[in-house]
Chains A and B, each alone.
Chain A
Amino acid sequence: MTDVIHGHASSTGISNVKLGMWAFLGSECLLFGGLISTYMLYRGRVTGGPRPSQIFDIPFTSVSSFVLLMSSLTMVLAVSAAHKDDDRKINLWLTVTALLGATFVGGQVYEFTAFYKEGLGFSTSLFGSSFYTLTGFHGVHVTVGIIMLMSLVGILKRSSVPGKKAEVVEMIGLYWHFVDIVWIIIFTLVYLIPV
């Protein structure tokens, strides 16, 4: 994407990267849809090991969920800074978003370790397999988001990001918000609704 005059503007008025990210997120809905359905089918099937209600620490997970949701706010601030072309603030808010995301992933690692010590392994029960798969996939998505955010901070420092800066920040922002929204659904279905 170069900045010369476009002989061929986009037919919809939305840029290719942004529309492409929307399409990708549509596809991701079905990915999480499949994983969530699998979990909902199996969450009550415990032949050995602990049941969900015995191990979930709702206050702890609520706090880490709050941290993740706050990262959406900081992401919005980063996008807003990008539209104003304020490099210092873009860097600041992208870094804060990544740190909040990392806190959430750290919380998940702690939680997984605690559950494992209480006897819930990946192959302990259907509940265990489907719980770790669903939340694990979400954790990987957050981790990929953190890598993208930190890479963007690094690349922006060299000021050689191909394409328009605001556009790239906004695209990663779309992904980040999507991952947060999916967590709201997972948190409600997995932790809050009793089996």
Chain B
Amino acid sequence: MAIIERPAPTLPAIVTPTTTYGVLKRPVSATGWRSWVFTVDHKKLGIMYGATAMFFFIVGGVEALLIRLQLAAPNGKVLNADLYNQMFTMHATTMVFLFVMPMAAGFANYFVPLQIGARDVAFPRLNAFGFWAFLFGGIFLNMAWFLGGAADGGWFMYAPNSGPVFSPTNGVDFWALGLQITGIASLTGAINLIITVLNMRAPGMSLMRMPIFTWMITVVQFLLLFAVPVITVALFLLSFQRNFGAQFFDVAAGADPLLWQHLFWIFGHPEVYILILPSFGIVSEVLPVFSRKPLFGYPFVVFSGAAIGFVGWGVWAHHMFASGLGPVSVAVFSLTTMAIAVPTGVKIINWTLTMWGGKLWFTTAMKFAIGLIVLFTVGGLSGVTHAVAPSDTQQTDTYYIVAHFHYVLFGGAVLGIFSGFYYWWPKVFGKMLNEKLGSWNFWLMVIGLNLTFGPMHILGLQGQPRRMYQWTEARAGEGFFNFAFWNLVASIGSFILAVGILLFLINVVITARNPQKAPLDPWNARSLEWMTTNPPKEHNFDVIPTVHHLDDFFHQKYEEDATTHIMTQVRTAEEIMAEQERNAEKHIHMPSPSYWPIVLAFGLPVITFGLIYSHLISVIGGVIVLFAAYGWALESSTAPDSDFENNSPGSGLDKVTANHD
């Protein structure tokens, strides 16, 4: 619903919708599926992002289990070589583009406006469009499975291997075009969140008072803003080569095979920070709350995050040490790669010192956060070994690399995301996840992931190459270094990991059925998102807060004694909420739901589908996009005042509208 009228907030106010094209009325449903499909509410979209990403996490996880089944014993027979190639390509593509990135987008959508004291994002319809483009792009990517086979070139799809000669099915076309669509989603999301953070902050919320999660998300959005167009170029070149006979990667015509590698990794390396920084942000919220101390060295955490954002652009060629770049390039990129470990190390130290001397409270969220610190450090250390070019040349394309990036991505990004689930679940759904089950969830995941990815260090250093669909007994080695033993351990570990994740899903179901509501401020939290009801009202805050401190919510609850520096509680969260309700602003006009985001997003896969099969279909898709774009442009983001009932003349003065566009 687009309006909240006081003093009867429970009754849906009546809106007479305006029309677009003189025919189509704005959607107004406050309940049922229409309230989700046409919503522009950042909180609903955040939940939709999360649920969809979770679905793709399961898809990618099943793909991973099939890979581990195949490799559990010598001469695996579960998958044939062709299917195995598709499996590892789509596993990585799904996990990177359809799970971690959109899951981070979900957290960002939900919490950034709440953390900066805003009522919505800067461009609510663009936000909805981003979600639908991601969903349709993800479906489009996976359609290839049923239409002749999925992409099979590995997630970095090196050319000319990804050309029509070695990848004759349409899989790579679906991959390249599908990633264009999810790229559009990321780009619109990035612009939206950057403008939200720059422009929509509550009074007093200066940049250096923003919660770390919001800071890290901001850095990520800048990385996306500049990295996405680079892969867009690469994907266009690849599509033009495959579909229109361009020669970009045709070595016989004099093409440079390194062009793709450079373009891909100029995107690809910032991409790894795009994956990890949101989780860094989450644990930077969780650790202070459960250590009952402010974050140690807040400005250092902010600036080291920003430093990672900058230096992340200068390290891409460490993915290419084996390609013969020449000694100068290799030396430069070795040094920058070692340098980027510094700001990352700064963060680890800050988190550790946050816990130092704190009253630690080992909730599941806290356990996952500590898990991230430990396991990400393991992955970070093996990452530093890649900076040593001679050593890296030996490790390239072995399981050592697979071990490294799973420690940083699973041990880092995914554990951070799970920490966020347990921490913010009461905020989003109004109920606490079961802590006992959460503990099992955590320990099974940690044991499972160490058993899965730990042995890969050994396998890799012994020379097991990645992306080979079988390993043979004859080359398996002997004793401690025997392939058979460690491959079996890794495969068993992957199933323990899967059980851990299954427990999380069970926990979600149990929590949903549990009638018990979460307390208003279950963790004694510090930042503004907790200064709302659980779950927050549609307009987030009854009164837009005025911010005086970093961790403003904490400082509203506690006051410091001037001489002893002891913090004593002066107000409870309930009292703060009650005061807000008393002073609630009237006539809050929220952005109105719209048909156009989903229609516009739907046009995109129609266009790309047509590019593969028949250009006539593309024309239809183009018409849909154009039609939706005009519908969008002709309708205002927030329904005009005349649409709202109870709009008596003269009431304009106490009307409050966020400046949405």
Tell me the bound Cα distance from A162 to B632 in angstroms. Answer: 10
- Asked if A10 and B254 sit within 8 Å, CB to CB, the answer is no
- Asked if B637 and A162 sit within 8 Å, CB to CB, the answer is yes
- Asked if B544 and A7 sit within 8 Å, CB to CB, the answer is yes
Interface-lining segment among B294-302, B406-414, B483-491, B651-659: B651-659
Chain A residues closer than 8 Å to B234, beta-carbon distance: 34
What is the CB-to-nearest-CB distance from A63 to chain B, in angstroms, rounded to a whole number? 29
- Asked if B255 and A126 sit within 8 Å, CB to CB, the answer is yes
Given A34-B233, A126-B254, answer yes or no on A19-B195 (Cβ-Cβ < 8 Å).
yes
Interface centre among B202, B544, B655 (most CB of A within 10 A): B655
CB closest residue in chain A, given B198: A12
Tell me the bound Cα distance from A47 to B305 in angstroms. Answer: 47
In this assembly, does B237 line the interface, its C-beta being within 8 Å of a C-beta of chain A? yes
- Asked if A163 and B636 sit within 8 Å, CB to CB, the answer is yes
- Asked if B657 and A4 sit within 8 Å, CB to CB, the answer is yes
CB closest residue in chain A, given B626: A147
- Asked if A11 and B199 sit within 8 Å, CB to CB, the answer is yes
In this assembly, does A15 line the interface, its C-beta being within 8 Å of a C-beta of chain B? yes
Chain B 568-595 per-residue mask, 1 if CB under 8 angstroms from chain A, else 0: 0000000000000000010001000000
Interface-lining segment among B221-229, B283-291, B605-613: B221-229
In this assembly, does A188 line the interface, its C-beta being within 8 Å of a C-beta of chain B? no
CB closest residue in chain A, given B655: A4
- Asked if B637 and A122 sit within 8 Å, CB to CB, the answer is no
Tell me the bound Cα distance from A118 to B247 in angstroms. Answer: 19
Taking CB atoms and an 8 Å cut-off, the chain A residues in 127-144 that contact chain B are: 128-130, 133
What is the CB-to-nearest-CB distance from B116 to chain A, in angstroms, rounded to a whole number? 9
Chain A residues closer than 8 Å to B634, beta-carbon distance: 155, 160, 162
Chain A residues closer than 8 Å to B657, beta-carbon distance: 2, 4-8
Chain A residues closer than 8 Å to B256, beta-carbon distance: 41-42
Interface centre among A11, A19, A123, A163 (most CB of B within 10 A): A11
Tell me the bound Cα distance from A153 to B265 in angstroms. Answer: 43
- Asked if B661 and A122 sit within 8 Å, CB to CB, the answer is no
- Asked if A9 and B247 sit within 8 Å, CB to CB, the answer is no
In this assembly, does A26 line the interface, its C-beta being within 8 Å of a C-beta of chain B? yes
Tell me the bound Cα distance from A128 to B192 in angstroms. Answer: 37
- Asked if A8 and B636 sit within 8 Å, CB to CB, the answer is no
CB closest residue in chain A, given B188: A24
In this assembly, does A62 line the interface, its C-beta being within 8 Å of a C-beta of chain B? no
In this assembly, does B194 line the interface, its C-beta being within 8 Å of a C-beta of chain A? yes
Task: List chain A positions with a Cβ less than 8 A from chain B.
Answer: 1-2, 4-12, 14-17, 19-20, 23-24, 26-28, 30-31, 33-35, 38, 41-42, 45, 47, 122-123, 125-126, 128-130, 133, 151, 155, 160, 162-163
- Asked if A151 and B244 sit within 8 Å, CB to CB, the answer is no
CB closest residue in chain B, given A21: B191
Tell me the bound Cα distance from A98 to B660 in angstroms. Answer: 29
A-B contact pairs, 23 of them (CB 8 A): A1-B637, A2-B638, A2-B640, A6-B658, A7-B658, A12-B198, A17-B661, A19-B198, A20-B191, A20-B195, A23-B194, A23-B195, A27-B226, A27-B228, A28-B229, A31-B229, A31-B232, A34-B233, A42-B256, A123-B244, A125-B253, A151-B630, A163-B661
Given A11-B199, A26-B225, answer yes or no on A34-B119 (Cβ-Cβ < 8 Å).
no
CB closest residue in chain B, given A158: B634
- Asked if A23 and B201 sit within 8 Å, CB to CB, the answer is no
What is the CB-to-nearest-CB distance from B288 to chain A, in angstroms, rounded to a whole number? 25
- Asked if A20 and B229 sit within 8 Å, CB to CB, the answer is no
- Asked if A47 and B199 sit within 8 Å, CB to CB, the answer is no
CB closest residue in chain B, given A129: B246
Tell me the bound Cα distance from A11 to B250 in angstroms. Answer: 50
Given contacts A8-B200, A34-B229, list 14 more A-B pairs with CB under 8 A.
Answer: A4-B652, A5-B652, A11-B205, A23-B195, A23-B225, A24-B187, A27-B228, A30-B229, A31-B233, A34-B234, A41-B256, A42-B248, A133-B246, A155-B633
In this assembly, does B122 line the interface, its C-beta being within 8 Å of a C-beta of chain A? yes
Chain B 505-533 per-residue mask, 1 if CB under 8 angstroms from chain A, else 0: 00000000000000000000000000000
What is the CB-to-nearest-CB distance from A178 to chain B, in angstroms, rounded to a whole number? 13
Chain A residues closer than 8 Å to B638, beta-carbon distance: 1-2
- Asked if A16 and B229 sit within 8 Å, CB to CB, the answer is no
Chain A residues closer than 8 Å to B205, beta-carbon distance: 11
Given A7-B585, A12-B198, A123-B244, answer yes or no on A34-B661 (Cβ-Cβ < 8 Å).
no
- Asked if B123 and A129 sit within 8 Å, CB to CB, the answer is no
Contacting B226 at CB < 8 Å: which of A30, A162, A163? A30
Contacting A10 at CB < 8 Å: which of B194, B199, B233, B652? B199
- Asked if A133 and B240 sit within 8 Å, CB to CB, the answer is yes
CB closest residue in chain A, given B193: A23
Chain A residues closer than 8 Å to B250, beta-carbon distance: 126
Chain B 208-238 per-residue mask, 1 if CB under 8 angstroms from chain A, else 0: 0000000000000000011111101110110
Tell me the bound Cα distance from A146 to B648 in angstroms. Answer: 42
In this assembly, does B263 line the interface, its C-beta being within 8 Å of a C-beta of chain A? yes
Interface centre among A7, A9, A12, A163 (most CB of B within 10 A): A7
Contacting B244 at CB < 8 Å: which of A20, A33, A122? A122
Tell me the bound Cα distance from A11 to B122 in angstroms. Answer: 12
- 5 closest A-B pairs (Cβ-Cβ)? A34-B233, A7-B656, A162-B636, A123-B245, A31-B229
Given A47-B254, A126-B253, answer yes or no on A16-B237 (Cβ-Cβ < 8 Å).
no
Chain A residues closer than 8 Å to B229, beta-carbon distance: 27-28, 30-31, 33-34
Given A26-B226, A160-B634, answer yes or no on A4-B199 (Cβ-Cβ < 8 Å).
no
Chain A residues closer than 8 Å to B200, beta-carbon distance: 8, 10-11
- Asked if B248 and A4 sit within 8 Å, CB to CB, the answer is no
Contacting B236 at CB < 8 Å: which of A4, A14, A133, A155? A133
Chain B residues closer than 8 Å to A24, beta-carbon distance: 187, 191
Tell me the bound Cα distance from A4 to B661 in angstroms. Answer: 13
